[in-house]
Amino acid sequence: MDKQSEDTPKFYRIRPRFKVESKLSVDELSEKINSALRSEVAPCFGKVKHGYGTLKIPQAQQHYWSPQLSLTLEETEHGTEIRGLYGPRPSVWTMFVFFYSFLGFAILIISVIGMSNISLDKSGKILLVIPILVLVFLSLYLVSYSGQKLGYKQIETLHEFIETSLGVKI
């Protein structure tokens, strides 16, 4: 492994990520990771195939906030660029996108109704609901952040595994 990205993982960011380059080919890196995954002492499971892969915590150790590591291996002129993205399971991510979308849509509709009422010289009291929805929006953000903290040890486990299997400090 040659060069480490300046964007090293800070595990308390929204969707922490890393990027590193290797002189090995995509197939060689895929085989190294898959070989480490086949080991009986591997702390995670998954598969890397055709330059893409996902590593997950074993089912017995998973909880609602358990992370997964999505890997992308891409050929470059200097070798292979390895990009990793830590994130929640798709069901968790989808739930938060749904809630954020619902809140955004509700704020939009309430704004239109409230401003229409004001332009018609009627009461615009419905606009008072918007700060409450913004607080709900912010509380969802805090919930997702605390969920990430609950999954921190498992992010470290996935990170240590990928460092060990690739033989590089990321």
Q: What is the C-alpha to C-alpha distance for residues 128 and 110, in angstroms, rounded to an integer?
A: 9
Q: Answer yes or no: is 4 within a domain.
A: no
* Domain residue limits at 32: 17-88+152-165
Q: Based on the domain organization, do 108 and 71 belong to the same domain?
A: no
The answer to whether residue 4 scores a pLDDT higher than 50 is no
The answer to whether residue 129 scores a pLDDT higher than 60 is yes
For the entire predicted model, the pTM comes to: 0.79
pLDDT (average), residues 102-129: 97
- Is pLDDT larger for residue 113 or for residue 6? 113
Q: Answer yes or no: is 113 within a domain.
A: yes
* CATH number where 69 lies: 3.30.310.80
Q: Answer yes or no: is 40 within a domain.
A: yes
Q: Answer yes or no: is 5 within a domain.
A: no
Q: Based on the domain organization, do 159 and 143 belong to the same domain?
A: no
Q: Answer yes or no: is 121 within a domain.
A: yes
The answer to whether residue 12 scores a pLDDT higher than 80 is no
The total number of structural domains in the chain stands at 2
Nearest of 92, 86, 49, 43 to residue 68 by alpha carbon: 86
Q: Based on the domain organization, do 28 and 110 belong to the same domain?
A: no
Nearest of 20, 45, 32 to residue 164 by alpha carbon: 32
Q: Please give the pLDDT value at position 10.
A: 55
Q: Please give the pLDDT value at position 148.
A: 86
